[in-house]
C-alpha cells in the first residue's frame, strides 16, 4: 500500500512538472506569435513607406522630364531615401524569415505534444499565410536573386547619379530589388565562360568556340557606353563571412580585397560590351578577357581642386632635388580631374567599420575601345548614413583574346553618344598616346635626361667621403637609409588549395621581432639587419581565374599588402595608401609556379614613400626568373621618413623611376 502511495505521489509530481513545462511552451509560443506579429507590422509599415517614396520619386521624375534638370538633386535625394528604406525592409524581412523558420520547425512538435496532453492549441494569427513555408521560400528567393539593373537612356548617361536613379526601381511592394552581389557576378562569369566547378590540371578544349569569333569588325554591331553600364553589391553589412575577409586588424576595410573585386568586376563589364550575333542566348562566350594594366587608382583626401591649387613646383615638395629648402611639406596635392577624381580616407573608413560595416557598391562601364583592347572605368562607393559615398575610381585596360588564348579577338566598336561620352572617349585616346610615349622614354630604352642625371650625381656627392679621393667610400648622412636595406620579399607557391599566410599580417603591429617567433611551420626567414622577409605560402583555390591562371586580383592584393608592410617597417608608422599607378601584367602566372614578389622603397620625400613591387616567376630547373607584374604605390605617414639612397646604378634607375611616378601622381612641375 505504501508502494502504491509513493508511486502515485511520483506520478503527481511528474504531472505537475509536465504541466509547468506545457505552460512554459505555451508562453514561448505566444511570445513567438507576438514577435511575428510585430515584425509583420514593421514590414507592412516599411512597404508602405517604400510605396510612398516610389510614387513621389516617379512623380518627381515626370516633373523633371517636363521642367528640365532643375530638380535633379531632389530626385537623387529621393532615390537615396528609397534605397535606405529598401535596406531597412530587407533587414525586417530577414528577421521575419528567421522567426518563421523557427516557428515552422517547432510548431508541429509543440502541436503534437500539447494535443497528447489534451491542452488547447493556440490559433494561428489571421495575418499569417496558410502556407508559411512556401511564402518564406519565395521571400528568400526574392532577396537573393535580384534582377540586374535596367539600361539607362543616352540622355541620362552624362550624369552617373541620374543613371542610378533610373536603374534603381522598386519592383513591387512585396519584393525587395537589389543590385546583384559580387558572388552572383562571379557565378555569371563562370556560366558565361562555360567553366566547370573544381580544379582540374587538364582543362577541356575551347577550340570549338573559335568558329563563333568574328573575322572582321563589320560583323559586330556598334555599342555605346550605356550598353555596358552595370553595378553589383558587396553586402558587408549582412554577410558576416565577408566581414571576416574584408576587415583589417585595425577595423578598416582591406583595400586588397576590394582590388580583387574590382578586377573581377572589370572583366564582367567588358563582357557586357561584347555583343556577338553568332552567339545565341545561353551560349558559352568564345572570348577570353584578361587584365593588361591598371592605369590610375587614387585614394584618401589628397585630391584637391585644380582651381584652388594650381600646379605644384618641385622645389616645394622636393627641395633636395632642385636645391631649394623648405621647413615642412606644403600639403599641396593632386589636382582633381576627370581622370583622377576620387577619395578614400582609410581613417574615416576605419572608424565607420568599427561601428557598422556598410554595403559597398561596384559600378562601371566601358570608356574606350580599340581593336581588341577595352578600357573599363570602375567606381567604388559605400552606403554611409543612407547615402552612397564615393571611395575611389579605377581604370582597367583589358585585352580580348580568342577562346584558346592564343591570339587577339576583335570586339565591338564603341561609338560615343553625346558630349559627355565623346569627352570620356577622348580621355581614353589621350591615355593611349601617353602610354605609347612612356614606352619610348622608359629608362630601359633611353638615357635619363639632364635633370635626372644631376639628381643622381647630387645624391652621390651627398654620400661620398669628400676627404678621400677614392669613389668607393660612401657614408650615409643622418636620417638616411640605403635602398638595399628597405625591401621585403616573399615567394608564393601557387597550389590550388586553401592555404594562406594572411593571418601573419596582424603580428606586424606588435613589433618586427614577433615575426621571428610566430612563423608559419618554420617557412619564414628573417633578416633584421637588411629589413627583409622571405615567406612561402600557398594561394587559395579561389585565387585562380577561370583559365587555371593565378587570378590577377589575387596578385594585386598580395602586392598591395606586401608594399604596405614594407612602408610600415620603413617608416615605423601605419602608412596610408594615396595612389596606385601603372599596375602592369606582362605575362600570365600558371597555377603551380613559384611566384616571388619583391617590394622596395624606391623614392621618399618628406612624409611620402614611393614603393615598387616586382612579381617574378621562377623556373624551378634553371632558377631563372621572369618578371610578370610591376606595381607602383604611393604612401603617406604622419612624420617625415628617412631619405632613401641608391647605392648602385640599377638602384639609381629604380630611384628615378619612383621619382617619375611620384611627380606624375602629384603633377609636379620639374622645370
Digit-coded pLDDT (tens) for 322-379? 333 323 333 333 332 333 333 333 333 333 333 346 788 889 999 999 989 999 999 8
pLDDT average, residue stretch 153-163: 38
In angstroms, rounded to a whole number, what is the distance separating the alpha carbons of residues 76 and 86?
Answer: 15
The pLDDT, as a whole number, for residue 194 is: 65
**Lowest mean pLDDT across 89-93, 474-478, 508-512, 580-584:** 508-512
Q: How many CA atoms lie within 13 A of 140 on its CB side?
A: 13
pLDDT surpassing 60 at residue 280: yes
The pLDDT, as a whole number, for residue 181 is: 63
Query: pLDDT above 90 covers what percent of the chain?
Result: 10
pLDDT surpassing 70 at residue 613: yes
171 confidence band (pLDDT: 50, 70, 90): very low
The pLDDT, as a whole number, for residue 368 is: 93
pLDDT average, residue stretch 10-32: 82
The pLDDT, as a whole number, for residue 223 is: 92
157 confidence band (pLDDT: 50, 70, 90): very low
Instruction: Please list, in sequence order, all residues whose beta carbon lies within 8 angstroms of the beta carbon of residue 55, skipping any fewer than 6 positions away.
Output: none
95 confidence band (pLDDT: 50, 70, 90): low
CA 402 to chain centre: 27
The radius of gyration of the chain's CA atoms, rounded to the nearest angstrom, is 30
Other CB atoms within 10 Å distance of the CB of residue 462 = 15
**Euclidean distance between the first and the last CA atom of the chain, given in angstroms as a whole number:** 115
pLDDT average, residue stretch 527-551: 45
What are the residue ranges of helices labelled H in 294-416? 306-309, 314-317, 319-322, 346-355
The residue that leads in pLDDT, 18 or 171, is 18
pLDDT average, residue stretch 78-82: 67
- Per-residue burial over 187-224, b if 16 or more Cβ lie within 10 Å, else e, is eebeebbebeeeeeeeeeebeebeebbbeeeeebeebb
Question: Quick one: cell of 295?
Answer: 592605369
200 confidence band (pLDDT: 50, 70, 90): low
pLDDT average, residue stretch 449-465: 85
Phi-psi group of 47: left, alpha or beta (phi > 0 → left; psi -120 to 50 → alpha; rest → beta): alpha
Q: What is the largest CA-CA distance in the chain?
A: 121
186 confidence band (pLDDT: 50, 70, 90): low
42 confidence band (pLDDT: 50, 70, 90): confident
Mean model confidence pLDDT for the chain: 68
pLDDT average, residue stretch 118-136: 40
In angstroms, rounded to a whole number, what is the distance separating the alpha carbons of residues 666 and 280?
Answer: 48
**pLDDT digit string, tens, across residues 470-511:** 666 777 888 888 888 888 888 776 655 433 333 333 323 323
Instruction: Please list, in sequence order, all residues whose beta carbon lies within 8 angstroms of the beta carbon of residue 605, skipping any fewer than 6 positions away.
Output: 317, 318, 662
In angstroms, rounded to a whole number, what is the distance separating the alpha carbons of residues 282 and 243?
Answer: 33
pLDDT surpassing 80 at residue 117: no
In angstroms, rounded to a whole number, what is the distance separating the alpha carbons of residues 615 and 613?
Answer: 7
Q: 402 near 408, Cβ under 8 Å? A: yes
The residue that leads in pLDDT, 263 or 144, is 263
- Per-residue burial over 638-662, b if 16 or more Cβ lie within 10 Å, else e, is eeebbbbbbbeeebbbbbbbbbbbb
SS3 10: helix
pLDDT average, residue stretch 172-196: 55
Pairing of strands 288-298, 576-585: antiparallel
In angstroms, rounded to a whole number, what is the distance separating the alpha carbons of residues 530 and 485?
Answer: 5
Phi, psi of 660 (to 5 degrees): -60, -45
Question: Quick one: cell of 289?
Answer: 578577357
pLDDT surpassing 60 at residue 77: yes
Helix (H) or strand (E) holding 377: strand 373-384
**Lowest mean pLDDT across 207-221, 285-299, 413-427, 648-662:** 285-299
SS3 553: helix
3-state secondary structure string, 618-665?
ECCCCCCEEEEEEEEEEEECCCCCCEEECCCHHHHHHHHHHHHHHHHH
SS3 640: coil
pLDDT average, residue stretch 526-555: 49
DSSP assignment of 277-323: TTPPTTPPPS-EEEEEEEEEEE-GGG-B-HHHH-PEEHHHH-HHHHT
Length of the chain: 671
Amino acid at each position: 500500500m505504501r508502494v502504491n502511495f509513493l508511486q502515485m505521489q511520483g506520478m503527481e509530481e511528474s504531472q505537475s512538472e509536465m504541466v509547468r513545462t506545457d505552460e512554459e511552451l505555451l508562453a514561448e509560443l505566444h511570445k513567438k506569435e507576438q514577435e511575428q506579429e510585430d515584425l509583420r507590422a514593421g514590414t507592412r509599415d516599411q512597404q508602405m513607406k517604400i510605396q510612398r517614396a516610389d510614387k513621389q520619386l516617379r512623380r518627381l521624375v515626370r516633373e523633371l522630364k517636363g521642367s528640365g534638370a532643375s530638380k535633379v538633386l531632389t530626385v537623387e535625394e529621393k532615390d537615396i531615401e528609397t534605397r535606405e528604406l529598401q535596406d531597412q525592409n530587407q533587414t525586417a524581412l530577414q528577421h521575419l524569415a528567421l522567426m518563421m523558420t523557427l516557428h515552422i520547425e517547432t510548431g508541429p512538435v509543440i502541436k503534437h505534444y500539447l494535443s497528447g496532453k489534451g491542452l488547447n492549441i493556440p490559433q494561428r494569427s489571421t495575418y499569417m499565410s496558410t502556407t508559411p513555408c512556401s511564402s518564406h521560400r519565395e521571400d528568400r528567393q526574392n532577396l537573393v536573386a535580384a534582377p540586374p539593373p535596367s539600361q539607362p537612356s543616352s540622355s541620362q548617361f552624362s550624369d552617373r547619379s541620374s543613371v542610378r536613379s533610373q536603374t534603381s526601381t522598386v519592383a513591387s511592394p512585396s519584393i525587395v530589388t537589389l543590385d546583384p552581389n559580387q558572388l552572383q557576378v562571379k557565378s555569371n562569369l563562370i556560366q558565361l565562360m562555360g567553366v566547370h566547378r573544381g580544379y582540374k590540371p587538364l582543362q577541356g578544349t575551347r577550340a570549338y568556340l573559335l568558329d563563333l569569333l568574328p573575322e572582321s569588325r563589320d560583323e559586330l554591331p556598334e555599342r555605346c557606353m550605356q550598353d555596358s553600364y552595370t553595378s553589383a553589391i558587396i553586402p558587408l553589412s549582412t554577410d558576416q563571412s565577408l566581414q571576416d575577409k574584408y576587415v583589417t586588424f585595425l577595423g578598416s576595410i582591406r583595400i586588397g580585397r576590394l582590388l580583387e573585386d574590382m578586377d573581377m568586376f572589370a572583366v564582367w563589364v567588358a563582357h557586357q560590351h561584347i555583343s556577338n550575333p553568332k552567339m545565341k542566348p545561353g551560349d558559352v562566350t568564345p572570348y577570353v578577357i584578361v587584365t593588361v594594366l591598371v592605369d590610375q587608382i587614387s585614394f584618401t583626401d589628397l585630391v584637391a581642386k585644380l582651381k584652388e591649387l594650381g600646379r605644384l613646383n618641385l622645389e616645394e615638395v622636393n627641395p633636395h632635388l632642385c636645391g631649394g629648402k623648405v621647413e615642412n611639406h606644403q600639403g599641396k596635392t593632386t589636382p582633381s580631374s576627370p581622370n583622377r577624381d576620387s577619395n578614400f580616407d582609410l581613417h574615416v573608413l576605419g572608424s565607420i567599420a568599427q561601428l557598422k560595416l556598410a554595403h559597398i557598391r561596384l559600378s562601371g562601364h566601358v570608356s574606350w575601345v580599340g581593336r581588341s583592347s577595352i578600357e573599363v572605368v570602375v567606381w567604388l562607393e559605400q552606403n554611409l548614413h543612407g547615402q552612397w559615398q564615393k571611395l575611389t575610381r579605377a581604370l582597367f585596360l583589358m585585352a580580348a583574346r580568342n577562346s584558346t588564348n592564343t591570339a587577339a579577338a576583335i570586339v565591338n566598336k564603341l561609338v560615343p553618344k553625346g558630349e559627355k561620352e565623346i569627352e570620356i572617349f577622348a580621355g581614353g585616346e589621350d591615355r593611349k598616346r601617353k602610354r605609347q610615349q612612356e614606352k619610348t622614354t622608359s629608362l630601359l630604352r633611353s638615357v635619363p635626361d639632364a635633370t635626372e642625371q644631376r639628381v643622381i650625381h647630387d645624391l652621390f656627392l651627398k654620400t661620398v667621403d669628400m676627404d678621400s679621393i677614392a669613389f668607393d667610400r660612401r657614408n650615409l648622412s643622418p636620417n638616411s637609409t640605403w635602398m638595399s636595406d628597405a625591401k621585403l620579399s616573399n615567394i608564393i607557391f601557387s597550389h590550388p588549395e586553401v592555404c594562406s599566410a594572411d593571418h601573419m599580417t596582424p603580428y606586424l603591429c606588435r613589433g618586427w621581432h614577433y615575426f621571428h617567433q610566430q612563423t608559419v611551420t618554420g617557412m619564414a626567414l628573417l633578416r633584421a639587419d637588411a629589413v627583409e622577409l622571405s615567406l612561402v605560402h600557398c594561394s587559395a583555390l579561389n585565387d585562380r581565374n577561370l583559365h587555371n591562371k593565378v587570378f590577377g586580383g589575387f596578385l594585386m592584393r598580395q602586392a598591395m599588402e606586401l608594399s604596405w608592410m614594407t612602408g610600415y617597417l620603413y617608416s615605423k608608422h601605419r602608412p596610408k595608401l594615396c595612389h596606385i599607378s601603372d599596375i602592369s601584367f606582362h605575362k600570365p602566372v600558371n597555377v603551380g609556379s613559384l611566384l616571388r614578389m619583391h617590394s622596395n622603397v624606391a623614392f621618399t620625400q618628406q612624409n611620402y614613400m614611393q614603393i615598387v613591387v616586382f612579381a617574378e616567376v621562377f623556373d624551378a630547373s634553371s632558377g631563372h626568373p621572369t618578371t610578370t607584374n610591376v606595381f607602383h604605390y604611393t604612401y603617406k605617414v604622419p612624420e617625415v621618413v628617412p631619405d632613401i639612397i641608391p647605392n648602385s646604378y640599377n638602384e639609381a634607375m629604380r630611384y628615378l623611376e619612383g621619382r617619375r611616378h611620384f611627380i606624375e601622381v602629384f603633377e609636379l612641375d620639374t622645370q
